[in-house]
Amino acid sequence: FPEMLSNPRLMSVQRTLNVVMNQNVSLSCHSDSGSPPVTYTLFKHSQQVSTLNRPDLTPALFNLTINSASDVGEYKCKAENKVSSAGKYSNSLNFTLIEPISKPVLSSPTSQAKKGQNVTLSCLSENGSLPITYVFFKGKQNISPPVKIHKREAAVIFLYISSSSDFGTYKCRAENSFRNNTKYSNSFNFTLAEERSHSQPLIISLGLILLLFIIGFALAIPFFIIPSYKASE
């Protein structure tokens, strides 16, 4: 007697749902039991993508190409035979589009600092699939544990400038799940801010007083020297 189909299983032949742009992928749809022949139909959301007929219970293989972000939507398949005319539906699969990250940018609100000051460093890759993991370095030594960011925002660390060695070269590294795509940032250096001498305001004040004295003396000459000259005549 004809046997009703079991619910089919939809699987990725690549055994991963992480894909890159323009990648070819294959989906396998298979009912373990039921009377052949079997008609398999692949759907993306509710839109039919392709239909394959199998004379036996071998899997149907659907070949796809990921051309855009819209190709990573939800996929399902339906299996039908003469008994299961309404069809049996599979589990759903969703691909995740993996994009390589761009070179991160390392920056700070200030490029000058002095000893005893707290400063911040920010590292951000503008492009690339999330999450992105950042690590900060001074020279070749990492100065932070890996920071995993799940939003399009910068990773930030706080530093305390305690000695002249803290004015070295800083960098950051960014990576995501895209294989062999680790990127390093630009170099960033803090420069020592000039500290004003305590005597500088005093020198400026004395200079202003001397200048005012000279100006006052110059203005007083017509009132004191010229009358005395006329009196001597």
Write the pLDDT tens digit of every residue in 58-81: 999 999 999 988 898 899 999 999
Q: Which domains, and CATH codes, for the chain?
A: 9-97 (2.60.40.10), 105-192 (2.60.40.10)
pLDDT, tens digit (0-9, with 9 covering 90-100), for 28-44: 999 999 999 999 999 99
Instruction: Output the six-digit token pair for 103.
Output: 């070179």
The two tokens of residue 52 are: 């394959």
Q: What is the pLDDT of residue 83?
A: 87
How many angstroms separate the CA atoms of 206 and 202, rounded? 6
Give the rounded distance of the alpha carbon of 167 from its chain centre: 26
Q: Amino acid identity, residue 155?
A: A
Alpha-carbon 201 to chain mean position? 47
Q: pTM (2 decimals)?
A: 0.62
The DSSP output letter for 18 is E
Which tens digit of pLDDT belongs to each residue from 153-178?
999 999 999 888 888 899 999 999 88
Mean pLDDT for all residues in the chain: 88
- CA-to-CA distance for 41 and 76, rounded, in angstroms? 8
**Strands 74-80 vs 60-66: parallel, antiparallel or unpaired:** unpaired
